[in-house]
Amino acid sequence: MTSRWVFGLVFLVCAGLLGVAFYMEHVMGLEPCPLCWLQRFGFMGAGLVSLFALLQGPTGVGVRIYGALLAVTAGVGLGIAGRQLWLQSLPADQVPACGPSVDYMLEVLPFFDVLATALKGTGDCAEVVWRFLGLSIPGWTAVFFIGLVLVGLVLLFRRPTPPASIAG
């Protein structure tokens, strides 16, 4: 499998996960918390890196650079998912207070204040509103981010294959 195919597959996975997120929001009525929004940006970042790599079709060092960028964007997303999982594991008396919605914060606060508040997480982030096979939404995003980090690291550290020779 060429790196171009790998990046194409990663792009499709990220697009599919974002589609699921928007389905959960707009069809199932699950309101995303600030950390959920940041995890979406993690998938958007990984998807954009993969889309650019797919379109460019890099070889050699280019594959390694895109692999590193994929691992970094997915790693940031994994850290955010881990933060939310930690908040969800807290006892009820230690959960932070609920905060305003991201839309409201963006209307009234400077961007970096919204980002700082979102990274801290709120009581909304600690609430488990959906589970599948025992994992909450940030649990599943962590699983996918781990997979993306691993793909990025494989692309970063694998040995390049020599071009096929034409036997004649």
pLDDT of residue 126: 67
Residue from 140, 164, 153, 144 nearest 63 by CA: 153
Measured CA to CA, the distance from residue 44 to residue 50 in angstroms comes to 10
Query: For residue 65, is pLDDT > 60?
Result: yes
Asked if 51 and 10 touch (Cβ cutoff 8 Å), the reply is no
pTM of the model: 0.80
| pLDDT, tens digit, 9 for 90 and up, residues 111-165 | 777 777 776 766 667 677 776 788 888 899 999 999 999 999 999 998 766 555 5
Measured CA to CA, the distance from residue 25 to residue 131 in angstroms comes to 15
Residue from 136, 7, 144 nearest 66 by CA: 7
Measured CA to CA, the distance from residue 147 to residue 145 in angstroms comes to 5
pLDDT of residue 137: 85
Measured CA to CA, the distance from residue 116 to residue 160 in angstroms comes to 41
How would residue 45 be classed by pLDDT, with cut points 50, 70 and 90?
very high
Asked if 93 and 147 touch (Cβ cutoff 8 Å), the reply is no
